[in-house]
Amino acid sequence: MLAANDECPLEVLQRQQRLLCGTPFHPEQHDNRHRAGRTSLRNFYKLAGLPTP
């Protein structure tokens, strides 16, 4: 587990044996009120070595 909070005990997970990450939300569904999705996607692209769209 990589992230949690009081409302959601499992926000981000990662499998150790193979590069595989997941979230129980849709980070692509972000807007001005919910900016965390944009930040999550930006960080993911950076970690994966991909250009940020």
pLDDT tens for 26-37 read 777 778 887 788
Global confidence as pTM: 0.52
pLDDT at 32: 84
Element (H, E) at 13: strand 13-15
What is the number of domains present in the chain? 1
Range of the domain at 39: 1-53
Residue 13, beta-bridge partner list:
22
Which of 50, 20, 9 has the alpha carbon at shortest distance from 41? 50
pLDDT tens for 3-51 read 777 877 766 767 778 777 677 677 777 788 877 888 888 888 888 888 8
pLDDT at 14: 73
Q: What 3-state class would DSSP assign to 9?
A: coil
Do residues 24 and 8 touch, judged by C-beta distance below 8 A? Answer: yes
Q: Tell me the C-alpha distance between 4 and 7, whole Å.
A: 8
